[in-house]
A and B are shown apart, each in its own frame.
Chain A
Amino acid sequence: MISPPTSVPPTTAEPTVEERDERKWVQAHSTTPPTREGTRGVWKVEVPPSQWHISQIQLSQLLHHRLSTLWAEIVPAGTTRLHGLWLGKGPCAGVLVSTELLEGEARVTTLLPHVPSALYFEREVREMFGVEFAEAPDTRPLLLHLSHPAPPFRAPASPNPQDPVSYTFLPTEGEGLYEIPVGPVHAGIIEPGQFRFQVLGEQILNLEVRLGFTHKGTERLFENRTPAQGLPLAESVSGDSSVAGAMAYLEAVEPVLGIRPSEGTQRARGLLLEAERVAFLLGDVSGISMDVGYAAGAAQANVLRQEAYSWLESLTGSRLGRSTLSVGGLYRPLPARALEGLSLRARALSDATRELLEHLDERSSVVDRIHDTGQISREVARNLALVGPVARASGIDGDVRRDRPYGPYREVDVRVALRSAGDVEARLQVKGAEILEACRLVEKFLDGGALDVPRSPETSDPLASGEGMGIVEAPRGELVVAVRLGKDSRVLRVHFRDPSYLNWPAIEYAVRGNIVPDFPLCNKSLNLSYSGFDR
């Protein structure tokens, strides 16, 4: 009889078939005893480089797990470690596959075409770490537009502005076909990126997105900082949802430092996270309404959005909730004056949002534009491993707050909105429902008990080191942060996998067969983060 690994927490419920299969697979494949330390309960499996692709293709095809994130890091002596995080359905723990590549042998086999969502990850690891993915179908650079003397994570240096990397958009040929190049500077007040449309008449045949314009080398800036010094960066990875960014980062570092925030702290964080979600998603309602040409609806959504930002401002001093979450707590307690009456305001905002959503649903000029537009089928959503409201609008049932409860969400039940149509209308409905649910959660956290926050957070072990992982549900969906802290608790490596990193390819599918004027609408309904992708 195989004795179970010691670090497995005792399970109360009978394991499901999927869980048992997962455990069996883990025990059969790891070269070292599998553990679940430092990874939020995810199984850690160490494989030899030759098994890197096979093991993960199995996870995809046998266990039906999905690739959540994939990153590399350099450990002493020039050795590269590769990690792939695979999460499963329901109660499955998930599996983190890792392998070690010695210097000069930085080479594995690609996961493509078996794992389509691996494409961006592999292109990034290739350009940033110089790891070769044998048989990779696409080796074009992803985030770097200018040549560097060496892969940036191996030898940090400024890029050469005179020497752009070569990059060709996939060519299309045919009679009557034309291309529309867009960007990087766009027409609206939005982030920069390049779109290349191949169009026949009015119909979009193909869209290719090129990103990387906002690449700031953020992850390398974390290096050698203390965990607390990393917070301003964590808040600026995708700065329109900074509370979620800070939360994901703290979820990763706090356990390494041996810090367990109090329940009151977690409730206060939950309150801020949900307030941010309300403000964020109302922006999507406004954007969709604007892009169907219904300015009155957009204006009303922005009135409501202003209300949500004013909550954050009165609670934290910052309209975007910046510089509020701290390691172990909050930098300052939430003012009583701001908490007073907030429940009623949340209720009122929820009612007003519901009214606006019904109003939009009654306007034929709105519904006509969003119904059937920008469809993403369930199959595409599953193959691309999409996350967040975009996935939920295509019938993929998943929400980290419910499936892997963390921090404040251990206390509350989160009701997950689900639609199957996968069009702009479904995304509007899912996001609308999530605003109402977030308002309800705001009330819950307010009623849930004291929001006591120690002003000076718990002191942590200054010598703590190790690896940690944070998996949270940001307004855009599952956000995963992986960290490694060195001996003096300083950051050695941080990896941010923004929800949009997985969701960006969705736009290329959503617009196919649609007319060019519907592109902005598809885009707005997906609301993808450029900075979160580029970092």
Chain B
Amino acid sequence: MSTSEDPGKEAQDQGQHSRPTARASPLSEVFGPVVTGPYPLSPADPSRLGARTPVHSRDRCEGSGECVRVCPTEAITVEGRGEEVTFQLDYGRCIFCRRCVDVCPTGALTASPQFELATLQRDDLRLMHSRKREVAPSPPPSQLWEETRQRVSRLFGGSLAVREVDAGSCNGCEVEVSALTWPAYDSERLGIHFVASPRHADALLVTGPVTANMRLALEKTYRATPAPKFVLAVGACGISGGPFRGSPEILGGVGSVVPVQVFVPGCPPRPEALLYGFWLALGKLEQKLHRKGLEVPAGASRGGRPSSGETPKSGPEHGSTDAP
């Protein structure tokens, strides 16, 4: 059994555990080739992504309302029928279950692998489709928005230290957040790394619906993070309370406790979706090699700037809440 290339090490092993050691295989035999995906520096291959995101076609919607009845999170509202229909879908509440897609009688709802859904404003996650009247064109981003975004980009563009806070998640989001550190995503290649203390952090990534029991801890963690800082609310829970909306034990989203600058929908958001959220916050979308990777489902135009919806009231420091 003893064919170790390093007899010294083996002797040590034997001494401590009196167990036989097999040969020490060189790492190259065990570890394979580079597995890190290209995203976000080049597009993700949509054929390898699960199609989970409900996208809506304005032209096909007849307003049956079947989707409203099956949606477990009240993410959809439909008013009127036929030519008069107004359809709204809130990606901040959606858990990407595709029940609405399964029941849509006219095929207006389909499932897409689209994951670049993160926005800088809560309102931008609300898709509104109306046959009759066109949705108002998105107002240009306010001056304050642009300035802050440039500042974030200038300050943190090189490297970003992130502290993750689980404010009552189901641990599904944590699987995907920690996947950023796996070789497949390796967020450190982009300068995004996770730190052990809020005092070392530039940004807080917060998951979960913020339980009553985590409120104080989240507030304290926010205060312990030195300015300048920004907050990402991650997952349906972090944005709106997700599947737990309506429980008296939760506050219903990170924005109800601390100001949020980036909203990353999903249940959980896949790692690429999280990378997109960071990229958006860092103002790096311009650097992306691809501009038209996948279909953009929400009515809003994107490309790293806040678009449709209301003009932000107080710029990026204005957190959004989603009262249950």
Which A positions have Cβ atoms within 8 angstroms of B?
144-146, 152, 156-159, 161, 184-185, 187-192, 212-218, 220-221, 229, 231-233, 236-240, 242, 283, 296, 299-300, 302-303, 305-306, 309-310, 313-314, 316-320, 322-323, 331-332, 355-356, 358-359, 361-364, 367-368, 371, 529-531, 534
A300, B30: Cβ atoms closer than 8 Å: yes
Q: How far is the CA of A474 from the CA of B244 in the complex (A)?
A: 22
Are A189 and B164 in touch, CB under 8 angstroms? yes
- A239-B169, A300-B31 are contacts. A362–B213 as well, Cβ < 8 Å? no
Contacts A185-B217, A192-B214; A322 near B267 (Cβ below 8 A):
yes
Q: Given the interface contacts A317-B111, A322-B267, does A156 sit within 8 Å of B248 by beta carbon?
A: yes
- In the complex, A318 Cα to B269 Cα: how many Å? 10
Residues of B within 8 A of A296 (CB): 27, 31
Query: Which of B93-101, B116-124, B276-284, B288-296 lies on the face that meets chain A?
Result: B93-101
Question: What separation, in Å, do the CA atoms of A322 and B165 have in the docked complex?
Answer: 23
Closest partner residue, chain A, to B215 (CB atom): A161
Residue of A nearest to B218 (CB): A185
Which B residues lie at the A interface, using CB under 8 A?
9-10, 12-13, 16-17, 19, 21-25, 27, 30-32, 35, 48-52, 72-73, 95-99, 102, 111, 164-179, 181-184, 194, 196-198, 208-209, 211-215, 217, 221, 242-244, 246-250, 267-268, 270
Residue of B nearest to A317 (CB): B50
User: Chain A residues with Cβ under 8 A from B243's Cβ?
Assistant: 221, 232-233, 236
Q: Which among A214, A236, A303 is the interface contact of B214 at CB below 8 angstroms?
A: A214
Q: In the complex the two chains form, is B249's CB within 8 Å of A217's CB?
A: yes
Chain B residues near A156 (CB, 8 Å)? 248
Q: Is there contact, CB below 8 Å, between A303 and B212?
A: no
A417 and B306 CA atoms in complex are apart in Å by: 54
Whether A216 contacts B50 by the Cβ 8 Å rule is no
Report the nearest B residue to A356, measured CB to CB: B30
Contact between A216 and B51 (Cβ–Cβ < 8 Å)? no
| Pair B30/A191 contact, Cβ less than 8 Å | no
Distance between A526 CB and nearest chain B CB, rounded to angstroms: 15
Bound Cα distance A336, B248 (Å): 43
User: Top 3 A-B pairs ranked by shortest CB distance?
Assistant: A239-B170, A239-B172, A317-B50
**Residue from B31, B49, B73, B164 with most neighbouring chain A CB atoms (10 Å):** B31
Identify which of A215, A236, A237, A317 contacts B213 (C-beta below 8 A). A215
Which one of A187, A215, A323, A534 lies within 8 Å of B98 (CB-CB)? A323
Chain A residue, CB-CB nearest to B242: A236
Q: Which residues of B contact A214 (CB under 8 A)?
A: 166, 168-170, 208, 211, 213-214
Q: In the complex, what's the smallest C-beta–C-beta distance from B103 to chain A, in angstroms?
A: 10
B244 and A216 contact, CB distance less than 8 A: yes
With the chains together, A305 CA to B48 CA distance in Å? Answer: 16
Of all chain A residues, the one with the shortest Cβ separation from B31 is A300
Provide the bound-state CA to CA distance between A473 and B300, in Å: 45
* Bound Cα distance A231, B267 (Å): 14
B12 to chain A, nearest CB (A): 6
Find the residue from B196, B197, B215, B243 having the highest chain A CB count within 10 A.
B243
Docked pose: A319 CA to B271 CA in angstroms: 10
| A152 to B31 alpha-carbon distance, docked (Å) | 52
Report the Cα distance A219→B50, complex, angstroms: 30
Beyond contacts A190-B166, A323-B95: 11 other A-B pairs, Cβ-Cβ < 8 A, are A218-B244, A221-B247, A232-B73, A240-B172, A296-B27, A313-B50, A319-B175, A322-B96, A359-B25, A363-B24, A531-B170
Give Cα distance in the complex from A270 to B278, angstroms.
Answer: 37
Docked pose: A362 CA to B174 CA in angstroms: 31
In the complex, A191→B237 CA distance in Å?
Answer: 14
- Chain B nearest CB from A451 CB (Å) reads 18
Which residues from B are CB-within-8-Å of A161? 212, 215
Docked-complex contact B171 and A530, CB < 8 angstroms: yes
Q: How far is the CA of A264 from the CA of B261 in the complex (A)?
A: 47
A362 to B10, CA, bound (A): 9
A359 to B99, CA, bound (A): 44
Q: Give the complex CA separation of A306 and B32 in angstroms.
A: 14
* Cα(A232)–Cα(B168), bound, Å: 16
Residues of B within 8 A of A313 (CB): 49-50
> With A232-B72, A322-B267 given, is the CB distance from A220 to B247 under 8 Å?
yes
